[in-house]
Structure 1
Amino acid sequence: ERSGKRALAERKLQQTAVKLSLYYRDAQGAPLIPGPEMIPAFPPLEAIDADQVEYDSLLALERRPEIYALELVRRQLDIDHSEAMNDCLPNVDLMMAAAKDVGYRTDPKNDKGPFQLDAMLYVDVPIERRKAQGKIQSVSGKISQLTAKRKLTEEKIVAEIEYAYAGLIGAYKQAKQAEQAVGYAEDLARRERRNFEEGLSDLLKVTLREQYAVESAEKAVDAKLLYFKEQADYRAALAEDQLPASQGE
């Protein structure tokens, strides 16, 4: 049975390595299938303080692309609103003109005249402003809708953070308990082997203790896998692993 489980685990490992090679490549860009010797050890389990969740929620509201997209829409609506307000205002134009005859006198009376400066102010008041006022009302309505949508989006993001935290903290406790169970099971297996060597136990008991230790180790691996999946979900909710912005932006 143990040999069968080992063969099954090796097959799954090889298949997973092939899938990983689609994203893991060498310097020439060719797919690279990692071998068992390249498998990294599990990183340490990290607990998250409940007080940090509130700070992480605020951080997520700054990072999440949904909020940034809504902010861009709001900026455009603010521009449209300002443009509509400007269309309701009167147009004021100032014009100035200067005139002066130059050159030599053609008459003893100096009929060229004095220097003249004329200033004219034109005020154009739009009589029909319904179009601009209608646009103001339309844009104002869109801004109100966008404000409500942003509030709902922020509430959803905070809920995602809290949901992901609940899953992460639960998986963390489960993984720590599984680690302790492995230690207890291995200790019992060692004691049973020692008793067998001293003639105080039999082979069946030793086999059962070792089998229990193996099962505990398998459960610990599954618990750690669940923990790191929950951790990935938490980091995704925080938008923590964003791609770096290009230099052209």
Structure 2
Amino acid sequence: MRYVVLALIFLVGLAHAQTAPLLPETVIQSVERHYPALLAAEAEQRVAAGERLSAEGAFDTVIESRLRGRLAGFYSGDIASVEATKPLAPLGAEVYGGYRLSQGDFPIYEDEYFTNQGGEAKVGVLFSLLRNRTIDSRRAGILEAELGLSEAALDVLIARLEVQERAQIAYWQWVTAGRERQAYAGLLALAERRDVALRREVSSGARAAIFLTENAQNLTRRRDRVRRADLALALAANDLALYLRDENGEPIVPSPEQQPLNLDLPSPVSLAELASIVDGQPELRLLKIARQRLELKRDLARNDLLPNLDLKVEAGDDFGAIGPGGISRDDAEVIAGVTLKVPFGRRDARGRVRSANARLDALEQRQRLLSDRIAQEIRKLTVSIETAEELLKLATLEAQQAAELEEAERRRFRNGASDFFLVNIREQTAANARVRVAEAELALAAARISYLAATFDIERLTSGG
């Protein structure tokens, strides 16, 4: 018995979930959790984070071990060594340290292999004084990866803004289609009730049979309106299903029973300063990242124009008893050296500098055009919001006036002071006025949602406005 009760509770809960009013918060959460394009953008962000970590690997410490032994011959010298190298970012530096130990005899041309019996330790550092001083491929790789990570984060933000805008407008289109269907269904219900009353009156001889024919025509016309509204509602529900998904990510087509009875419009937006909106646009920030990429390539090309001037400082000391190499190995040593390498021609690097400069010029013009387009779009949305607010006020007033005229015409008809034709006109006008209110609410909701998306106010956009 207990299992039967639990099953009934589950079925009741499931039925309630399927018919509970669908609110915008549900669509918003569904998009954030399950929309494929958004999940793909978030995955790309994780890819960029992995590439950033990979770029840092250029500065990993490298340990190298060597073992060299003579298997045959007059000399018996063997040597083992280990060395650790660590690249550093400042001055393109590289520090290293190592230890080596030799035993046996070496020919005079391999004299440098000798160590004392305790081996030799050394440390050193290499500095780049011209080429690779301020930038090199390793540091550029990290900067490039950081730009990629910033770009991926902006791509996620842009995806969220675009998808939430489309999803919420699709939701309001579905709500509007439901309200239009409700208005025309109300008209049809009036005609059906009137048909019943007219049949009684015609049967009693109170009215002529032509009234039935006229009402039948109204019934046909209104049924046609309802069927068209049913189609529009079904299409809107199908569009909304792209954004409304279950826990498995499968689309859910909302039913007409899930239409909300009362729904507040998105909150009024504060019309922010245009300049600050334009400067913070994600699309412009993407272009700034593209500019930084080009500047990085130009810096690398300019770096390749420079000669190599490297400074190396190394200190070493042998330990233990003096080995076969003699006493010359016993004292500590500090050695400094400079290497200069000058490339000639350098046409490859010069060409890359020119190419980067030209691309930066082109990017500047694209950035200017995009700024102008964004400013134009924001101004257009501002006008759209103001106009939609006024049109909604007018549509609401018209609907109130049409409802009053409709009720007054019915009273006149009941008192014999009006005719069937005028009553039908008043009813149709009132229904059309209610539809215009729904359409005006859709226009205002869409304008406010688009403004939040255009001003990248993701917090308000994902809180339902």
The residue type equivalent to 1:75 in the other structure is Q
Aligned to 1:9: 229
CA contact (8 A) 1:98 1:117 kept: yes
Aligned Cα root-mean-square deviation (Å): 3.8
2:386 paired with 1:169: yes
**Could you say if the C-alpha distance between residues 127 and 22 of structure 1 is closer, same or farther in structure 2, counting changes exceeding 3 Å?**
closer
Aligned pair partner of 1:44 in 265, 277, 300: 265
**Larger radius of gyration, structure 1 or 2?**
2
Q: Secondary structure at the match of 1:34?
A: coil
2:397 paired with 1:180: yes
Give the TM-score normalised by structure 1.
0.73
**Could you say if the C-alpha distance between residues 46 and 118 of structure 1 is closer, same or farther in structure 2, counting changes exceeding 3 Å?**
closer
**Could you say if the C-alpha distance between residues 150 and 118 of structure 1 is closer, same or farther in structure 2, counting changes exceeding 3 Å?**
same
CA contact (8 A) 1:92 1:121 kept: yes
CA contact (8 A) 2:269 2:452 kept: no
CA contact (8 A) 1:53 1:165 kept: no
Deviations 1:80-122 (CA, angstroms, capped at 9, x unpaired): 1221222233322224466889856xxxxxx859956543323
Aligned length: 236
Higher strand fraction: Structure 1 or Structure 2? 2
Give the TM-score normalised by structure 2.
0.43
CA contact (8 A) 1:185 1:212 kept: yes
**Contiguous gaps of at least 5 residues in structure 2:** 1-217
The residue type equivalent to 2:345 in the other structure is E
Aligned to 2:369: 152
Deviations 1:151-190 (CA, angstroms, capped at 9, x unpaired): 2111111112212322332233212210111011112223
2:34 paired with 1:34: no
Q: Secondary structure at the match of 1:128?
A: coil
**Contiguous gaps of at least 5 residues in structure 1:** 105-110, 245-249
Aligned to 1:54: 273
Q: Secondary structure at the match of 1:201?
A: coil
CA distance in 2, matches of 1:29, 1:76: 37
2:417 paired with 1:201: yes
Aligned to 2:430: 213
Aligned to 2:408: 191
**Could you say if the C-alpha distance between residues 118 and 33 of structure 1 is closer, same or farther in structure 2, counting changes exceeding 3 Å?**
closer
**Could you say if the C-alpha distance between residues 27 and 88 of structure 1 is closer, same or farther in structure 2, counting changes exceeding 3 Å?**
closer
Q: Secondary structure at the match of 1:10?
A: helix
CA contact (8 A) 1:24 1:31 kept: yes
CA contact (8 A) 1:59 1:238 kept: yes
Aligned to 1:141: 358
CA distance in 2, matches of 1:231, 1:78: 38
